[in-house]
Amino acid sequence: MFRYFDRTLSSGRSSGALASRTSTGRPRFVLAFFAATAFAGSASAQLQWAPTRGQSGQTAVDPALASQDERAIAGLSCSTFSPNVVPSNSASPFGIPEERWTRELFQVLQARLAACTAAWDLNNRSFARSVLNNWGEGLVLRAENKRYQAQAAAERKRALLEQLRQIAELPSVTDQLRELAEFEYRTGLLQLSQAERVEISAVLMQHRARAEDRRQQEAAAEEERAKARQEALEAKAREEEQAFQARLTKFSAPVRTFVTRNPGVANMSENEAGAVLVTFYTMEVALRVCGSKFGGYRSELAEMTGRRKLFEQTLHEVQNWPDDRLKDARAKAGVESGTGRLAEMLSADRFKLMQTCDGALAYTSGVLNFER
């Protein structure tokens, strides 16, 4: 438990220079070292040492253990103390683990030393107290530092575990896995003890395993949802196709053929259908203007008129556009007369007008399929 080295103080022998005596029998070391100390002349004086960092109570020992330790020290046998021995450092001084030594416990030891050495001569008593005081100051400092470090480590571990708990509560498993990876990187930079690192790593692995299981479950669930959505879309498409085929039987033969080749026409929005219709009107008016100005374009005009009428008939039968609405639109555009504001705008640029007429059929063929 303790390592002691002998110092002969009461006999004429000397075990070393530190304990050599004067001619009066008093140790030179004691006289030189303690001449200036306040307790040298008092048999009952208690040795004190200045408070040091770590004595604020933040690293206090468990009260039950502290009480137990104080009783053990207060009950030490007086044979424990001897003017011929000096205590040395050990893992458990006087049977008490080093990390449990406090200033209060050391004061109990001082009191026990005082009681046990009351009958000693002044030199031996002073020497024993001085040695115990110097040794005790270092002991309590080391104990405080150990408790401080243990508490800091515990708080650090609690903080890390709390971070893991918060990460585990993130609603997004993607965020969880990302944060766990960042947590692992950050903790890898910390100076943790092996025990801390093992414990934190174990909890990290548990959270990561749960997050990965959750990710796989969510992925499987999303796959099932996607499959269900696809099946619903396919079922809807089949229903729409069946409904479309049923509607086709009600259309005239030319419209039925046209819609079969251009199924998108049946589902065109009103704006989309209107834009296509304006395109046909513009091309037909352009061909009429070109015919009147340059001659020719008769076959192109006839084909364009046929295409325009087929599209109008399709809008009437498939999307229920009224005939009056179509008639008004043709009149405003000057489709059948080749006159009006649209014709004037097209005539303003001769080169562009000829380009429009030459490409009219090809352009409309790119919009819809008019093959017969």
User: Region 218-223: what's the mean pLDDT?
Assistant: 92
- Cα 318 to Cα 311: distance, rounded to the nearest angstrom: 10
Domain spans of the chain? 17-150, 171-250, 259-367
Q: What is the band of 183 on the pLDDT scale with cuts at 50, 70, 90?
A: confident
Q: Using one digit for the tens of pLDDT, what is the confidence trace for 293-307?
A: 888 889 998 998 999
Report the mean per-residue pLDDT for the chain: 79
- Backbone Cα Rg of the chain: 52
pLDDT number for residue 367 = 84
Give me the count of residues in the chain: 372
Q: What is the band of 109 on the pLDDT scale with cuts at 50, 70, 90?
A: very high
21 forms beta bridges with: 27
CA 224 to the chain's CA centroid: 28
User: 């004037």: which residue's tokens?
Assistant: 344
User: Region 173-178: what's the mean pLDDT?
Assistant: 86
The runs of H, that is alpha helices, within the chain are 28-34, 63-74, 103-116, 122-168, 173-188, 194-248, 253-261, 270-294, 298-318, 323-333, 341-347, 350-358, 360-367
pTM, full prediction = 0.42
DSSP character at residue 60: P
pLDDT number for residue 169 = 86
- DSSP, residue by residue, 28-50: HHHHHHHTT-GGGG-SSPPP---
pLDDT number for residue 279 = 92
Query: Structure tokens of 108?
Result: 């109990």
Residue pair 114/46 in contact (Cβ under 8 Å)? The answer is yes
Q: Using one digit for the tens of pLDDT, what is the confidence trace for 157-173?
A: 888 889 888 988 888 88
Query: Structure tokens of 158?
Result: 């609690």
- Cα 328 to Cα 310: distance, rounded to the nearest angstrom: 17
Lowest-pLDDT range, 43-57, 277-291, 298-312?
43-57
User: Region 329-350: what's the mean pLDDT?
Assistant: 89
Percent of the chain with pLDDT over 90: 26
pLDDT number for residue 235 = 94
Q: Of 52 and 287, which is predicted with more confidence?
A: 287
